[in-house]
Structure 1
Amino acid sequence: MTAQPLHLSLAGQTVDLVRELVLTGEIPPGERVNEVELASRLGISRGPLREAIRHLASEGLLVLVPNRGAHVPKADADEVRALFELRIALECAAASLAAQRRTGAELARLREVSAESRANYQAGRRFPHRLDLAFHQALLDAARSPRIAEQVRLVQQRVILLRSRLNTDSAHQFASMDDHDELIAAVAAADAALAGAVMRRHLDRVRDQLLGEIAPS
């Protein structure tokens, strides 16, 4: 019998559910995952849950400690710097590739997600991680580099996790949305160098804001 792909299996569905709880901060950084309580909450047995926990640990969203179970990692300045070194290398390259390779449909998708993000925020709704991921995913789709996209997704998740319980002021949110619009303009103009530079500036600012929240001076 052929094994089901992870995304079609019960464990795969459980991965998605637990990932959402972690990324939204419902399971806070530093908190241990209570398997009994979580299995009851999700209406599943502990087998698929444990498989999902192992999978999320492999993505860096959970930390497994022998005989102590799993917990959500806390934000750490050194980890933030390391993650952004990798993210800058990957996403600046992706932005440049998107400017060279994008189609009209991919450009339209970038504009659609950016407009949705701004409309949600101006309506008083928080700028959710799903919209931020959607924008960066649209950019990665335009870059058409699956290997870069695969690695970026893992790094982005870990950054979102570290930000889940930190304050994010409106000035920072609007700056991020403005950065996205500048990226769209560079991609639309097929200016690879500018797209990479705008992405670098965007990620530098996000990193510095996050570091300021973790260890205020």
Structure 2
Amino acid sequence: MFSTPSTLTLDSQPIGRGTVQLLKGENGSGHGCRWGAYFIGPRSLNVIYWKYVTDISMAWQWTFALCTARLSRVGQERPHPGMNKSEQALSVLQGVIERGELTPGAMVSESQLMEMTGLGRTPVREAIQRLALSYMVRIHPNKGIEIPAISVEDQLSGLEVRRAVEVLAVGLACERGAAAELDAMRKLAGQLTGDFTLRRYTETVRETHRLIIEAAHNPYLGVLMTPLQALSRRFWIMHVRDEQREIRHGGRLHADMLNAIADRKVERASAASLALNDYLVQFTLAVVAKMASRPHSPKSK
């Protein structure tokens, strides 16, 4: 007799049982009403829960989704000038994970990552350790390196923390940013209004985050924000469908935040940061709603 797996996946993305508890307010977090308020109609949460407890055959079909790693050499990354080899390896590997070129569930070896980056064992090993701290890889001794899946619950939980930390970061950047740093932000904000490929847009967003962290002049902020921002980007890239529409909207939000910091307007920068976070939350909840509305097989009698 088969039992329903503890984690189901749709499009190779997991929806953990905790997500249902989070949305229904059953996990003691007190967030059920907040997240659940975005869902209207009798099918939404009930359909998600029904997929967990009744549809065993479809559950196994989802769970056994094929994960394959694309291990071609990556030669198009553009590391920031002045990066050492460890930072270059980190930039390349973070990019291929965010873009899904190493798919969730894939197992890779250190030598394969060395081949992908074109860098030696030491910088790649250091990059792997940093990625593990950011929850972007999971190290299994004597087995390999796993690219973990990212769930809706992961994204919502990360955005909750990012919301508070990023407001602090933009406020400090307004107060502490050097003239050259603010000029760089204003220049980048102008670029964010142009046309982008998905790859170039995500690289520009990563540069936006880097500039804000540097201008805040607090090293602990980088430790907190970098993995949270990487998590958000990875989830967004995996689920974005209308790329150009989302890029235009996201570009405006990032540009508003950069321009406010460059003008040293703390309240405006904080409001822009919150608007960006609201967009990412709405995007995530729209993904859940779309998953819930998909046709499913009838209950077996």
Give the TM-score, by structure 2 length.
Answer: 0.58
Tell me the amino acid that sits aligned with residue 187 of structure 1. I
Separation of aligned partners in 2, 1:8 and 1:137:
16
Mark the runs of 5 or more structure 1 residues left unpaired by the alignment: 1-6
SS at match of 2:145: strand
Cα shift readout 1:90-130 (whole Å, capped 9, x = no counterpart): 11111122223334322221121122233342xxx225322
2:204 to 110, 125, 131: 131
Measure how far apart 1:23 and its partner are. Answer: 2.3
Can you list the C-alpha shifts for 1:171-208, whole angstroms capped at 9, x where unaligned?
32212222223223433443312211220111121122
Aligned to 2:136: 61
CA distance in 2, matches of 1:194, 1:101: 16
Q: Alpha carbon RMSD of aligned pairs, Å?
A: 2.9
Mapped partners of 1:214, 1:32: distance in 2: 27
| SS of residue in 1 equivalent to 2:239 | coil
Provide closer, same or farther for how the CA distance between residues 8 and 110 of structure 1 changes in structure 2, counting only shifts above 3 A: closer
Query: Is 1:93 aligned to residue 153 of structure 2?
Result: no
Q: Where in structure 2 are the equivalents of 1:92-131 lying within 5 Å?
A: 92-121=167-196, 125-126=197-198, 127-131=200-204
Once the two structures are TM-superposed, the CA of residue 76 in structure 1 deviates from its matched residue by 0.7
Q: Relative to 1, partners in 2 of residues 1:186 and 1:38: Cα closer, same or farther, differing over 3 Å? A: closer
Distance 1:15 1:187, change over 3 A: closer
- Contact preservation (8 Å) 2:193, 2:251: yes
Query: How many percent identity over aligned positions?
Result: 23
Q: Give runs of aligned pairs for residues 28-67 of structure 1, distance below 5 A.
A: 28-35=103-110, 37-42=112-117, 52-65=127-140
Secondary structure of residue in 2 paired with 1:165: helix
Give the match's secondary structure for 1:75.
Answer: coil
2:269 to 195, 209, 212: 195
Unpaired runs of 5+ in structure 2? 1-82, 293-301
- Residue 87 (structure 1) shift: 0.8
> Counterparts in 2 of 1:198-209, with a 5 A limit?
198-209=272-283
Mark the CA change 1:70 to 1:204 in structure 2 (over 3 Å): closer, same or farther.
same
Contact 2:177 2:216 in 1 (8 A): yes
More helix by share: 1
CA distance in 2, matches of 1:40, 1:94: 36
The answer as to whether partners of 1:102 and 1:143 remain within 8 angstroms in 2 is yes
Structure 1 match to 2:250: 176
CA distance in 2, matches of 1:93, 1:54: 27
Distance 2:123 2:259 in 1: 45
Q: How many pairs were matched up?
A: 207
In structure 1, the residue corresponding to 2:101 is in which secondary structure?
Answer: coil
Task: Give the distance between the partners of 2:280 and 2:249, measured in 1 at CA.
Answer: 9
Counterparts of 2:115 and 2:262, CA distance in 1: 49
Q: 2:287 aligns with which of 208, 213, 216?
A: 213
| Structure 1 residue 166 displacement after superposition | 2.0
Separation (CA, whole Å) in 1 of partners of 2:219 and 2:123: 28
How far, CA to CA, are the matches of 2:168 and 2:269 in structure 1?
Answer: 9
Match of 1:148? 221
Q: In the alignment, residue 162 of structure 1 is paired with which amino acid?
A: F
Question: By how many angstroms is 1:36 displaced?
Answer: 5.4
Q: 1:24 aligns with which of 95, 99, 110?
A: 99
Q: Shift in Å at residue 34 of structure 1? A: 4.5
- Report if aligned partners of 2:192, 2:255 keep a CA contact under 8 Å in 1: no
Q: Report the secondary structure of 1:164's partner residue.
A: helix
Aligned equivalents of 2:186, 2:87: Cα separation in 1:
31
Q: What residue is the counterpart of 1:3 in the other structure?
A: none
